[in-house]
Amino acid sequence: MPGVPHEMKIAMSEQVIPYLQEKKGRENGGIIHRTLMLYGIAESTLAIQIEEWENALPASMHLAYLPKDGVIRLRLSTYGDATENEMDAQIEAIKPLIADYLIATEDLALEQILGNLLKERQQTIATAESCTGGRLAAALNAQSGSSAYYMGTVVAYDNSIKEQVLGVQHDTLIAKGAVSERTVCEMAEGVRALMCTDYAIATSGIAGPTGGTPDKPVGTVWIAWATPMGTEAECFHFGVAREREQITQRAVTAALVKMIKIIGRS
């Protein structure tokens, strides 16, 4: 393959992959995949939890664990030796074992899953970001057609912006600090009111490598979700040893996952 990325991508998508798919299809009926997306469970714990189911899989099926940024893509594959119905039956059998962690039953980006939910319901969302610095906004508006549901963001890195634009109370920042439950809730509620949306997400944390304290070490991130039913927040600890980029990406992932769950249960 050519080494220039642009040329390689074109050749792969237009020539190589279609050729391989056609060749595999001629030989034994093609490849079938089923993908489940999970969040909130470690890969090793998941392996133990589904061990009995996995060990009982037919020899024609192969399971892969594909973790990234806290999300595990559990992919079941067959190479022409099992039918669609047989694959679907195995997926239905595993669902009760992973119900608490299941996000989606298709291999899509989290922002695409969230966007689809919002479009189906004709609802809108906005974001207020501190530690994620616009990365949450970048994920949401990267989807084609996102203008139908994504209204915008306020990157309120400085406390003065939290107060003057988002309406966070000065007393809240003095008493609780920027990285706190109360602050992040007021950020989410403020941007939801500012942009007149159904939902809003706010993030505030310490991405490092400096700025941590014994009470709030590097990797501490508060995330809030403002909804028509009220506002809820959660504190995450993404680890002192992680790099800044890893912490912010994990925060984006956690924010999207919880929003998907909130809308899904409403």
Average pLDDT in the chain: 93
pLDDT value at residue 29? 58
pLDDT > 60? residue 59: yes
pLDDT > 70? residue 24: no
> What's the length of the chain?
266
pLDDT band at 62 (very low <50, low <70, confident <90, very high): very high
Chain segment 98-146, per-residue pLDDT in tens: 999 999 999 999 999 999 999 999 999 999 999 999 999 999 999 999 9
CB of 189 within 8 A of CB of 169? Answer: no
Q: Which domain, by its residues, includes 79?
A: 31-104
Q: Which of 67, 89, 104 is the last residue of a domain?
A: 104
Same domain, 73 and 130: no
Same domain, 70 and 89: yes
Same domain, 97 and 120: no
Same domain, 51 and 94: yes
Q: Which of 104, 131, 154 is the last residue of a domain?
A: 104
Specify the amino acid at residue 176.
K
pLDDT > 80? residue 27: no
CB of 251 within 8 A of CB of 239? Answer: no
Q: In what order do the strands lie in the sheet with 220-227?
A: 150-155, 125-129, 199-205, 220-227, 230-237
Same domain, 160 and 35: no
Residue 83, SS3 per DSSP: coil
Residue 79, SS3 per DSSP: coil
Neighbours of 96 (CB within 10 A): 9
> Rounded mean pLDDT of 87-91?
96
Same domain, 133 and 239: yes
pLDDT > 60? residue 73: yes
Structurally, how many domains does the chain consist of? 2
Helix axes 110-121, 244-265, angle to 10 degrees: 30
Per-residue DSSP letter, 14: I
Q: Which of 55, 77, 104 is the last residue of a domain?
A: 104
Four-residue CA torsion sign, 69, 75, 79, 84 = negative
Q: What's phi and psi for 41, nearest 5 deg?
A: -140, 140
Same domain, 98 and 158: no
pLDDT > 80? residue 91: yes
Chain segment 37-47, per-residue pLDDT in tens: 999 999 999 99
The CATH number of residue 72's host domain is: 3.30.70.2860
Same domain, 153 and 189: yes
pLDDT > 60? residue 230: yes
pLDDT value at residue 253? 97
pLDDT value at residue 4? 86
Same domain, 129 and 238: yes
> Rounded mean pLDDT of 244-262?
96
Same domain, 177 and 195: yes
Residue 93 lies in a domain: yes
Chain segment 163-204, per-residue pLDDT in tens: 999 999 999 999 999 999 999 999 999 999 999 999 999 999
